[in-house]
Structures are given as C-alpha cells and as structure tokens.
C-alpha cells in the first residue's frame, strides 16, 4: 500500500526528443500534464485511458448494461473518486463523478466534467503517468502509432 495519496503524485514534464509524423507534437516541444489538463487528476485520467481507447475504437464493455458508459475508480488510497466515463462522438472526455471517498483535491461528487482532447495525444499523456517515478532523462516511445515520437522525462 502506498504511504501517500496517489492524488499528490505529479505527472512528469516531457520533452519531445525525436521528431515524427505525430499530428500533436514536434521535436523540442515540452509538455506538462498540469498545463495540458489543468485542474484534472493525473490518477483518474490514467485510469480512464484504457476505457477511452476502447470507446475511441468502437468497442464496448459487455458487463455494462448501457454500452455508452463505464464506471471507473481512481486508485488513490486516502481519497478516491468513482466516475462514469461516457462515450463521446467528439474528441472530448466526458465523465460524471458519482462518488468521492475522502477529501479529493480535484473533484466533487455529482458533478460533470469535460476535457477537450482536440489537440492532445491521450496515449502520450497516459503513458507519461506510467513513468511518473522514473528519473530525469528516462526516454520512451509513444505508442500512438502515428510516427516515431520519442520523449524524455525532464524534472
């Protein structure tokens, strides 16, 4: 079990080190989660990511009665949120926080949130959260499939 609430974890800043045919980012560009997704919890967006990808590619979740939403919980240990991710035909992330356990610094229960992902690569954002505990200079390749984008963690 983690000693600290995962909500306190900060997504690392990234620097794109190698160019690509990526429609979102260019070599030399720096990215910060807090600037790209202001006011949103890195942990909850990390948990939403695989479900969002499923919806993006036309999938659904057979255990859900309604095929247009899925229930997700963030993994904070001192506080966590239960959210309902809703399928969107736009390039947006829409979710309703249905319950908050503890004192979440980001969300309130029974409130809707929408994130415009029009100019964001959610694959790179989600992957960067997986590298939050890595040291400065750690390099990784984006799994986006749109080119050979390589980024490194900068602290």
Give 2-47 pLDDT, tens digit per residue. 334 445 556 778 888 876 677 788 888 888 777 777 888 888 888 8
Rounded mean pLDDT, 44-67 = 85
1 inside domain:
no
47 is in which domain, residue-wise? 6-154
12 inside domain:
yes
How many structural domains is the chain composed of? 1
Helix or strand holding residue 105 (H, E): none
pLDDT at position 83 over 80: yes
- pLDDT for 27 equals 85
CB of 147 closer than 8 Å to CB of 127? no
Give the dihedral sign, CA 57/126/40/85: positive
Q: Could you tell me the pTM of the whole model? A: 0.73
Question: How many Å separate Cα 148 from the centre of its chain?
Answer: 21
Helix (H, G, I), strand (E, B) or coil at 132: coil
97 inside domain:
yes
Pairwise CA distance, residues 99 & 79, whole Å: 11
120 inside domain:
yes
């Amino acid at each position: 079990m983690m000693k600290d609430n995962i909500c306190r974890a900060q997504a690392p800043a990234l620097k794109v080190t190698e160019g690509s045919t990526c429609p979102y980012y260019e070599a030399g560009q720096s990215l910060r989660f807090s600037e790209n997704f202001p006011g949103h919890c890195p942990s909850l967006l990390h948990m939403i990511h695989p479900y969002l990808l499923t919806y993006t590619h036309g999938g659904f979740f057979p255990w859900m009665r309604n095929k247009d939403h899925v229930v997700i919980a963030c993994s904070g240990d001192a506080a966590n949120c239960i959210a309902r991710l809703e399928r969107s035909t736009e390039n947006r992330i829409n979710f309703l926080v249905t319950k908050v356990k503890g004192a979440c610094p980001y969300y309130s229960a029974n409130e809707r949130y929408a994130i415009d992902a029009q100019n964001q690569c959610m694959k790179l954002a989600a992957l960067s959260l997986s590298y939050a505990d890595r040291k400065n200079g750690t390099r990784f390749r984006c799994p986006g499939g749109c080119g050979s984008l390589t980024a490194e963690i900068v602290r």
